[in-house]
Amino acid sequence: MSQAQTAAAGTSTISQSVVEAVAEAEDVDPMELSPPLYEVIDPDALDQVFAASPTNGRMDGQVTFTYNGYEVTVSGDGYVSVEERGE
């Protein structure tokens, strides 16, 4: 089982963190991921859902989706979990 976890850095977007975490799990350069993230989920929408607001901080909750054979979970605190799906 392959697993990678990361917390979004201050300057990194959630979508960038997802790409980096999946690339780490696959042991490839993030630019080599195929298909690109935007073919699976709208990265701008993902970033907006978890964007910190000046008054409320980040949203609570999480989003889970499948990407390149991994179950990706993004939490409101910026934490990204990538787990290989069992077929």
pLDDT of residue 85: 83
Q: What is the pTM of this model?
A: 0.80
The CA-to-CA distance between both ends of the chain, in Å, stands at: 12
pLDDT of residue 1: 43
pLDDT digits (tens, 9 = 90+) for 36-87: 999 999 999 999 888 766 666 666 789 999 999 999 999 888 889 999 987 6
What residue numbers bound the domain in which 8 lies? 3-84
pLDDT digits (tens, 9 = 90+) for 2-41: 455 565 555 588 899 999 999 999 999 999 999 999 999 9
**Could you give the number of structural domains in the chain?**
1
Q: Identify the three-state secondary structure at position 64.
A: strand
Extract the tokens encoding 55.
């008054």
